[in-house]
Amino acid sequence: MKFEEWWSVYLDIAKELQIDVEEDRRATRVLGGLLEERNRKDERAMEEARDIFDRSITVVFGAGPSLVEDLLGFLPSKFRDEAVVVSADGATNYLLSKGVRPSVVVTDLDGGAEGLFEASRRGAVTFVHSHGDNVQALESMVLAFEGPVVGTTQVEPLFNVHCFGGFTDGDRAVVLAQEFGASAIVLAGMDLGEMVGKFSKPSLQHDVRAWPTKAMKLRWAKAILERFARSSGTALYNVTARGVDVQGFKRTSFRDLEAEALGGSS
């Protein structure tokens, strides 16, 4: 997504959600400074991400209410060995607990530090997002990641903090996958409806109805994905068991997608 196109979307989001644009800019500068401290540790992070995604089938796991059911469909499928797994923030802990190591994690650092650090220790490229509400988390966590880190922002980029587009961790992961060369992208655990999955936040014990601000964010995530799909040349699928349809993403299942995208089982 070109920055000019994203910027018009972002300004609409900022207006509706009353986001302080200057605070987002400040967070971007904070992240940029932290990444300068990391420097050599991350010098090949962008190349590593490109190598991971290049011509891949990528499965993006969100932390929606369908995550458990969708992972059950994923585990016995060929996708477990042949697809690139991307986790959106809070989904990371659950994937790791079931023996699935994401190759890429997309996070604004509010989905649970334990899983994020463990995935990084095990080699995941972590795309860390900066915004006005997570400066404290940036300052306490960014230097602690053992694996490669790429910085992202939703405002004007810096030389080491990039703006690829996308607002929530889930839709941003999809935009990133195409940006870095994925040939097909599959949504899983991306309900985008009225309920928030229990894995979204460490404080949640069960799925809950979306509070007003979260509901707006989920609507924006859906709108961004649908806008993305209209101009994307990538094959787009949605295996999320429940939740809303996302225009431009073909509803299917891992079983059916095996035959279509991987040529059937042996």
Q: For the segment 23-81, what is each residue's pLDDT rounded down to a tens digit?
A: 999 999 999 999 999 989 999 999 999 999 999 999 999 999 999 999 999 999 999 99
pTM beyond 0.85, yes or no: yes
- CB atoms inside a 10 Å sphere around CB 11: 12
Contact 184, 261 (CB under 8 A): yes
Residue 58: inside a domain, yes or no? Answer: yes
Counting Cα atoms < 13 Å in the Cβ hemisphere of 57 gives 17
Residue 59: inside a domain, yes or no? Answer: yes
Residue 128: inside a domain, yes or no? Answer: yes
Nearest to 53 by CA among 2, 106, 9: 106
The predicted pLDDT at position 259 comes to 85
Residue 265: inside a domain, yes or no? Answer: no
Query: Is pLDDT at 4 greater than 80 in this prediction?
Result: yes
The predicted-structure confidence for 121-167, as pLDDT tens digits, reads as follows 999 999 999 999 999 999 999 999 999 999 999 999 999 999 999 99
Nearest to 216 by CA among 165, 168, 172: 168
**What CATH number should be reported for the domain holding residue 107?**
3.90.1480
Residue 205: inside a domain, yes or no? Answer: yes
State the pairing for strand pair 125-130/57-61: unpaired
| Region of residue 106 (phi > 0: left; psi between -120 and 50: alpha; otherwise: beta) | beta
Q: How far apart are CA 212 and CA 228, in angstroms?
A: 24
Contact 240, 187 (CB under 8 A): yes
Range list of H helices, the chain: 3-17, 21-38, 45-53, 67-74, 79-82, 91-97, 113-121, 135-141, 169-179, 212-231, 254-261
For the chain, how many structural domains are there in total?
1
Q: Is 21 exposed, middle or buried (0-12, 13-18, 19+ CB in 10 A)?
A: middle
Q: Give the residue numbers spanning the domain of 12.
A: 3-260
Residue 80: inside a domain, yes or no? Answer: yes
Q: How far apart are CA 79 and CA 77, in angstroms?
A: 5
**Phi (first) and psi of residue 54, to 5 degrees:** -50, 115
The predicted pLDDT at position 263 comes to 64
Which structure tokens are listed for 71? 């992972």
The predicted pLDDT at position 265 comes to 41
Which structure tokens are listed for 99? 């023996």
The predicted pLDDT at position 113 comes to 97
Residue 266: inside a domain, yes or no? Answer: no
